[in-house]
Structure 1
């Protein structure tokens, strides 16, 4: 079983990713840290706490981190995720508070406590991870691996050049990619294939309270669902890769993050033609979407069954 520390900004697709990580027998969530991103930090943290209690893992620490980027004014995606961050999901408010401390310290301490054993998966802006690297550069050695959801080697979604998580804090992303580890980058070129179509949502409707309270209202408020199209569940792709790396084709590359461009700030500049240079990343280039959905929906069905038994 792979131990994972999830740094996130819930966010609809973060919620779908957390359900997947919780339900997979291949993964063990050892902690969740939050960052401001899709919505402000207070709401991303509250959403993580609500998901923790709804899904039934109340002893796993949830630790809030950075409210905004290193150098820039915050941006958010409330126009996509709704004011709450979870669209039309219907979750009870959390009864338990977050764990004390700060996410940056928690990342450092968790990786220090189990060197080489814990995978860090970052599915929000990289502010917490960058500050963890700055505070303790040995986290690069202590992490079993770093998998991020973000970037693109073609086009962005926040701007024509930049994906949202990179655009939200380009300076942090630049620090993370230059830190000396091999970053597995699951970006838009992969995630745009993970569409929650009508057939997917119909399967979710069969999943009792999990489907009715969380999955279906999240997906349907995230984008228009038709027979052949639907919103891309970006963050779940990074977690699915951790469960079964064969779902995503990755290729070695040198990745640098643009921080100065007037029109390209936050762009992930991906060079697959290494020309003798040492790669700093494995970049996702394609997704086996049918197998992805087989894994995701089967895992969701197991989570739904567990909620029925305990409900």
Structure 2
């Protein structure tokens, strides 16, 4: 049976590809999409999410707008990577669906509470503000969610700071809530996503599909490649967020270890660091997992096949 997931996102070029993967992969049933401030303002990322829905033909899934501010910190966006719109590069189509009237936090809660226990997997691929507030507003969802599979953090390197990753550092207090809530959390961090590179062979495989969604993805990667090379020195761009979706679809693509993870909230140089304890063995009650390896060829094969199916 397909795994039912709700994606919480801030599109974002890699978020857009993650949404297309989720809709096109037969191992996934996308049951909801919520937006959160991050790569750009909440208004921009929500507009982008609806544009991706139009491109991918995602018409039967509720989309809801969420938090426009982190819990306590000022907004910090990633315009240098994603552009002024948050999804620069392709021409964005007009939305074909209306936003759900509910706030994203309420859509998350309603979806989990209306489903059987263990049925819904939350896949946050932006900042964790919505997920944290949902867990605080309705604590019963913690026991009902199957797991949280998030793109964020790193156990070795950072991208927004020497040891901090963007999705965590923009709202570290929310990350602390999510990582300590008492549900299973799997961290798909930069250590792995920096190996999920959109290399020339990958780009050629996407172009060969020659469909509207594939052309859209290719245009996204054109812009994303240029900013990642300019800002972070990548010859081919790392495409982070689809890794979290792919892990739900096929965990065998990845190497996963049970490890304690703590969020640094006060460090002068380490704010937002996901401090991962590799001292063996992990405690028996450890509910956090980190991804330490990826079969990049199988990952991209899954993305390309999903784009072909759309």
The bucket for the TM-score relative to the shorter chain is over 0.9
Aligned to 2:112: 111
Is 1:15 matched with 2:16? yes
Q: Is contact 1:191–1:232 with CA below 8 Å preserved after alignment?
A: yes
Deviation at 1:74, TM superposition (A): 0.6
Aligned mates of 2:13, 2:282 — CA distance in 1: 40
Q: Is contact 1:188–1:234 with CA below 8 Å preserved after alignment?
A: yes
For 2:296, which of 277, 289, 298 is the aligned residue?
289
Deviation at 1:275, TM superposition (A): 5.5
Aligned to 2:80: 79
Q: Is contact 1:89–1:213 with CA below 8 Å preserved after alignment?
A: no
Is 1:56 matched with 2:66? no
Aligned mates of 1:23, 1:209 — CA distance in 2: 13
Aligned to 2:155: 153
Aligned mates of 2:185, 2:243 — CA distance in 1: 15
Report the CA distance shift for 1:188/1:276 in structure 2 as closer, same or farther (over 3 A). closer
Once the two structures are superposed, residues 238-297 of structure 1 have per-residue CA deviations (whole angstroms, 9 ceiling, x without a partner) of 111111101110101111101111111100000122566332211000111111111111
4+ residue runs over 4 A deviation? none
After TM superposition, list the pairs within 5 Å mapping 1:125-274 onto structure 2: 125-210=127-212, 213-224=215-226, 229-273=235-279
Deviation at 1:65, TM superposition (A): 0.5
Aligned to 1:309: none
* Partner SS, residue 234 of structure 1: coil
Aligned mates of 1:192, 1:40 — CA distance in 2: 25
Once the two structures are superposed, residues 208-249 of structure 1 have per-residue CA deviations (whole angstroms, 9 ceiling, x without a partner) of 2436641111111112499x9410010011111111101110
Deviation at 1:144, TM superposition (A): 1.3
Deviation at 1:50, TM superposition (A): 1.2
Aligned mates of 2:208, 2:301 — CA distance in 1: 15
Aligned mates of 1:116, 1:291 — CA distance in 2: 27
RMSD: 1.6
Deviation at 1:128, TM superposition (A): 0.2
Deviation at 1:175, TM superposition (A): 0.6
Report the CA distance shift for 1:212/1:286 in structure 2 as closer, same or farther (over 3 A). closer
Moved more, 165-174 or 273-282: 273-282
Q: TM-score, normalised by structure 1?
A: 0.93
Q: Is contact 2:149–2:187 with CA below 8 Å preserved after alignment?
A: yes
Aligned mates of 2:162, 2:225 — CA distance in 1: 19
Gaps of 5+ in 2: none
Once the two structures are superposed, residues 109-133 of structure 1 have per-residue CA deviations (whole angstroms, 9 ceiling, x without a partner) of 1101112211110000000000001
Deviation at 1:59, TM superposition (A): 2.5
Report the CA distance shift for 1:276/1:48 in structure 2 as closer, same or farther (over 3 A). closer
Deviation at 1:95, TM superposition (A): 4.0
Report the CA distance shift for 1:10/1:276 in structure 2 as closer, same or farther (over 3 A). closer
